[in-house]
């Protein structure tokens, strides 16, 4: 559908179904379940027209609207580097709508909820979609002979080429919404069904949380290199960190996130649900404090805690509700860049805290929360400073082991031994992303 008859004629000549019509005047004679706007809004003359088109779509549909749109979020950032996405300066792209502008419109329309997903991530300027800023308009993929040289830059976060947006026009259950917004393809999960077999694990399994797209990827039981399920989760805030635990003591772990901006934990008590059932504030808002989870009192239920790197103090609670810390533990050195973790290091039935030093690849594990004794120092391999620590009962013997996640290669290194040495097992989860964080738990998912 296009108001330009010349474009419609060209589309028909190319074999496409096309009709000349003003989209604002479109009237199907009945309500539709949904309306899609694919590669449309960028061609409109201004934001006011974009808002009117989205508003008309919302009038026509009963359930939801869907938008597929070129991403202009990083236009200014790329320009500062002397780069651009190939379509950024196409003359036909008159309206460069960004996420904040969509959100403002959706709030004015009082949409029930909405969801954004970045598509086709680009991590390095060598990607063919990235051109020097001086390349001619209406260019496509990078051609050095035509576009000239460009700098080699690894981007600190992904540059998305497109974005897809779902907007709810009625109330959806969490399960309905999760089913609606799930990725329409699994291109981010490479070779999901053909991952090579690896040795099985009889205990807890790993998972990855994509902090950019707020999506969990849970490994299957007995097959740590195979993904069992994928689902969105969290409040959609910019600074969320994953946690996992057995919040209700039923023997199965479920996921959560800690929102650093609001100082709130969002925890799920059911498997693979997109929204939290338990939400509470704990600790100060908008700090760099880092979350952990564990069973501090040995009652079979996990609760949460926070680590303050500026004082090297852990603040722990035995309840899943707002309030002050019941346990405060000082451990390690402040301002050292150490990363917190928690586990049952001695099979005592209760968890304690630990710290990982990236500079030395050393785990400093405190076996008891009270007292000054009972510290273990364990070095796992000679890994890189960018590795992220995790802990889990990998063999199901009641004592937690340790592990490291290499985000550059999406690879895990784990061991059941709390002694210096190399990893006992290593494997990859077939997931790609710019900000993936690991957690571990008993997900109860088959292979």
The pLDDT value given to residue 385? 66
The pLDDT value given to residue 382? 63
Residue-wise pLDDT for 226-282, tens only, equals: 888 888 998 877 789 999 999 999 999 999 999 999 999 999 998 888 889 999 999
Strands (E), 233-361: 240-245, 254-259, 264-267, 278-281, 290-294, 303-308, 313-316, 327-330, 339-343, 352-357
The pLDDT value given to residue 195? 30
Structure-block tokens of residue 32: 């539709």
- b (16+ CB within 10 A) / e for 222-231: ebbbbbbebb
The pLDDT value given to residue 193? 32
The pLDDT value given to residue 2? 73
Nearest of 96, 38, 95, 90 to residue 66 by alpha carbon: 38
The pLDDT value given to residue 199? 44
Nearest of 66, 71, 60 to residue 30 by alpha carbon: 60
Q: Which long-range contacts (CB under 8 A, 24 or more apart) does 350-355 make?
A: 350/295, 350/296, 350/297, 350/298, 351/294, 351/295, 351/296, 351/302, 351/400, 352/294, 353/292, 353/294, 353/305, 353/307, 353/314, 353/316, 353/329, 354/391, 355/312, 355/331
Structure-block tokens of residue 48: 């006011």
Alpha-carbon gap, residue 67 to 225, rounded angstroms = 34
State the distance between the two ends of the chain, measured CA to CA, in whole angstroms: 46
Does the pTM surpass 0.95? The reply is: no
Structure-block tokens of residue 173: 């259950």
DSSP at 41: G
- The β-bridge relationship of strands 425-428 and 290-294 is unpaired
Residues 6+ apart with CB under 8 A from 306: 258, 282, 283, 289, 290, 291, 292, 314, 315, 325
The pLDDT value given to residue 78? 95
Alpha-carbon gap, residue 366 to 350, rounded angstroms = 12
Residue whose token pair is 């790197």:
309
Structure-block tokens of residue 153: 């830059």
Contact 292, 356 (CB under 8 A): no
Q: How many CA atoms lie within 13 A of 7 on its CB side?
A: 11
Structure-block tokens of residue 74: 């990083």
Strands (E), 253-319: 254-259, 264-267, 278-281, 290-294, 303-308, 313-316
Residue ranges of the chain whose pLDDT lies below 70: 1, 16-17, 28-30, 183-202, 223-224, 371-374, 382-385, 434, 446-447
The pLDDT value given to residue 185? 41
């Amino acid at each position: 559908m296009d108001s330009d008859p010349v474009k419609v004629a060209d589309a028909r000549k190319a074999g496409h179904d096309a009709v000349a019509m003003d989209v604002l005047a479109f009237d199907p004679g009945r309500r539709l379940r949904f309306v899609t706007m694919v590669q449309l809004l960028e061609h409109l003359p201004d934001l006011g027209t974009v808002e009117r088109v989205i508003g008309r779509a919302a009038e026509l549909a009963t359930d939801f609207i869907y938008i597929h749109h070129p991403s202009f979020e990083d236009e200014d950032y790329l320009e500062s580097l002397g780069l651009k996405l190939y379509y950024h300066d196409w003359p036909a792209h008159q309206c460069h709508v960004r996420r904040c502008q969509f959100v403002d419109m959706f709030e004015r329309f009082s949409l029930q909820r909405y969801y954004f997903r970045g598509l086709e991530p680009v991590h390095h300027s060598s990607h063919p979609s990235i051109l020097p800023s001086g390349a001619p308009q209406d260019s496509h993929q990078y051609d050095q002979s035509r576009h000239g040289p460009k700098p080699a830059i690894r981007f600190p976060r992904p540059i998305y080429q497109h974005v897809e947006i779902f907007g709810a026009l009625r109330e959806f259950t969490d399960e309905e919404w999760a089913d609606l917004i799930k990725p329409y393809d699994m291109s981010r999960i490479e070779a999901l069904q053909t991952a090579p077999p690896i040795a099985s694990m009889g205990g807890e399994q790993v998972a990855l949380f994509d902090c950019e797209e707020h999506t969990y990827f849970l490994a299957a039981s007995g097959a740590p290199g195979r993904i069992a399920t994928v689902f969105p989760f969290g409040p959609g805030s910019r600074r969320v960190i994953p946690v996992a635990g057995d919040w209700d003591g039923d023997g199965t772990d479920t996921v959560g996130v800690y929102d650093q901006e609001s100082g709130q934990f969002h925890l799920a008590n059911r498997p693979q649900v997109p929204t939290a059932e338990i939400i509470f504030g704990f600790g100060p808002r908008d700090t760099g404090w880092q979350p952990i989870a564990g069973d501090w009192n040995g009652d079979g239920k996990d609760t949460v805690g926070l680590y303050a790197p500026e004082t090297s103090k852990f603040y722990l609670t035995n309840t899943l509700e707002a309030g002050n810390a019941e346990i405060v533990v000082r451990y390690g050195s402040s301002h050292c860049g150490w990363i917190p973790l928690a586990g049952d290091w001695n099979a005592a039935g209760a968890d304690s805290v630990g710290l990982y030093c990236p500079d030395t690849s050393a785990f400093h594990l405190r076996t008891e929360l009270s007292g000054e004794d009972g510290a273990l120092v364990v070095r796992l391999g000679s890994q890189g400073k960018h590795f992220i620590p995790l802990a889990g009962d990998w063999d199901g013997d009641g004592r937690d082991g340790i592990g490291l996640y290499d985000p550059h290669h999406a690879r895990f290194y784990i061991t059941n031994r709390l002694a210096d040495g190399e990893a006992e097992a290593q494997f990859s989860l077939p997931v790609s992303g710019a900000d993936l964080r690991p957690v571990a738990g008993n997900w109860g998912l088959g292979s």
